[in-house]
Amino acid sequence: MKQLKKYLPPLILLLIFEAVAVTLWLAKNNLFYLFNFSYIGLAVSLGLFLLIRKYRYARRIVQLLVGLYMLVFLGLISRENMQIEGFWYYLFTGVFEAATIHYAVAKIFGPLIFGRGWCGYACWTAMVLDFLPYKVPAAPRKNLGWIRYITFAASLLFVAALFLAKVGNIERIMFWAFIVGNIAYYAVGILLVYRFKDNRAFCKYICPVTVFLKPMSYFSLIRIQCDPDKCVSCGTCKRVCPMDVDVTDNARSRRNGTECILCMECVKHCPKKAL
Binding site for ligand SF4 (CB under 6 A): 119, 123, 125-126, 202-203, 207, 209-210, 224, 226, 231-237, 241-243, 245, 247-248, 260-266, 270, 272, 274-275
Which CB, 43 or 263, lies closer to ligand SF4? 263
Which CB, 19 or 183, lies closer to ligand SF4? 183
Which CB, 10 or 59, lies closer to ligand SF4? 59
Taking the complex as a whole, the smallest distance from the CB of residue 94 to ligand SF4 amounts, in Å, to 25
Taking the complex as a whole, the smallest distance from the CB of residue 189 to ligand SF4 amounts, in Å, to 7
Alpha carbon 225 to chain centroid, angstroms: 20
Q: Which residues contact 70 (CB under 8 A, 6 or more apart)?
A: 82, 102, 122, 124
> In one letter, which amino acid is 45?
S
Return d(Cα 212, Cα 259) in angstroms, integer: 12
Taking the complex as a whole, the smallest distance from the CB of residue 69 to ligand SF4 amounts, in Å, to 15
Question: CA separation (Å) from 245 to 108, 122, 235?
Answer: 21, 20, 11
Taking the complex as a whole, the smallest distance from the CB of residue 152 to ligand SF4 amounts, in Å, to 11
Return d(Cα 154, Cα 258) in angstroms, integer: 23
Which CB, 177 or 209, lies closer to ligand SF4? 209
Closest by Cα among 122, 83, 123 to 103: 83
Taking the complex as a whole, the smallest distance from the CB of residue 134 to ligand SF4 amounts, in Å, to 14
Return d(Cα 108, Cα 98) in angstroms, integer: 14
Return d(Cα 188, Cα 14) in angstroms, integer: 35
Which CB, 216 or 270, lies closer to ligand SF4? 270
